[in-house]
Amino acid sequence: QMVWCQLFSEPGAGSDLASLSMKAERVEGGWKLTGQKIWTSVAQHAQWGFCIARTDPSAPKHDGITYFLLDMKSEGIDVRPLKELTGEAIFNEVFLDEVFVPDDCVVGEVNKGWQVARNTLSNERVSLSRGGGLGAGLPELLEFFGGRELDEAARVEVGKLVAQGQSIDLLGLRTTVKQLSGLNPGAEASVRKLLGVQFNQDVADYVWAAQGTSAVLEDMRGLSGKWARYMLFSRAMTIYGGTTEVQLNIIAERLLGLPRDPEPGK
């Protein structure tokens, strides 16, 4: 009933999201937001958005950030679609020019929005690894090969993908049980995201190749061309929602207890 978008990434703050520069200035009854967001999925259709902005520029970069709920019909918002490899335009640039947000649309405490944003990102990573509407997953794999005669090599490869898909689904079930127990997904969400999007990519690549020479004739504008779209779209899946490299760092530091990478110049 309501479409939301996530106004997090900026041209100079993607993987290092805490470097964001969108500013929020205090005004009577609320805040005025000014700056640019990028790679914002479905912003052209969304009624509301989650938005993080810097409310205290003098604080350390992980502090001084506040989490806002933004009415996308507000005056001063300009959404510009970005065409992707598939020819679609799911991602967008969003420009905010002194957009007013009332005080009751602040989530959590002022200047403490980074904690809320991290929670949002953890849940996003769980969601993005499910395949289905975003990419090719286990149901799409079984639908394609259902009723087909497979040689021994194909049975091994399809069987391996099915086993991987079931394992990733069980990781998702474990995350769901944790959330029902009142716990946040935490760093385990990065494991699910890392494995899930790689699985989506492996499924798309394998099925697209399994079509043989007919694969090059797929028309992505029609239903018959969905595997060409899955194959192309899956390239983005290891980047959005936190790149593969970022997920590996999170897993290394927060689950395995390895030391942080040194920051450049330090």
Instruction: Determine which one of 124, 157, 188, 245 is catalytic.
Output: 124
Q: What are phi and psi of 231, to 5 degrees?
A: -65, -45
- Span 18-58, pLDDT tens digits: 889 999 999 999 999 999 999 999 999 999 999 999 999 99
Active site residue 25: no
Do 237 and 221 belong to one domain? Answer: yes
| pLDDT confidence of residue 132 | 44
pTM higher than 0.75: no
| pLDDT confidence of residue 43 | 95
Domain with 53 in it:
4-111
In a domain, 140, yes or no: yes
Give the whole-angstrom CA distance, residue 148 versus residue 150: 6
- Taken in order 53, 58, 62, 67, the sign of the CA dihedral is negative
In a domain, 260, yes or no: no
CB 200 within 8 A of CB 227: no
Do 249 and 164 belong to one domain? Answer: yes
| pLDDT confidence of residue 131 | 47
pLDDT less than 70: residues of the chain:
125-134, 218-224
| pLDDT confidence of residue 130 | 54
DSSP character at residue 223? G
| pLDDT confidence of residue 14 | 78
Do 247 and 146 belong to one domain? Answer: yes
In a domain, 263, yes or no: no
Do 142 and 239 belong to one domain? Answer: yes
In a domain, 158, yes or no: yes
The residue among 60, 94, 111 that closes a domain is 111
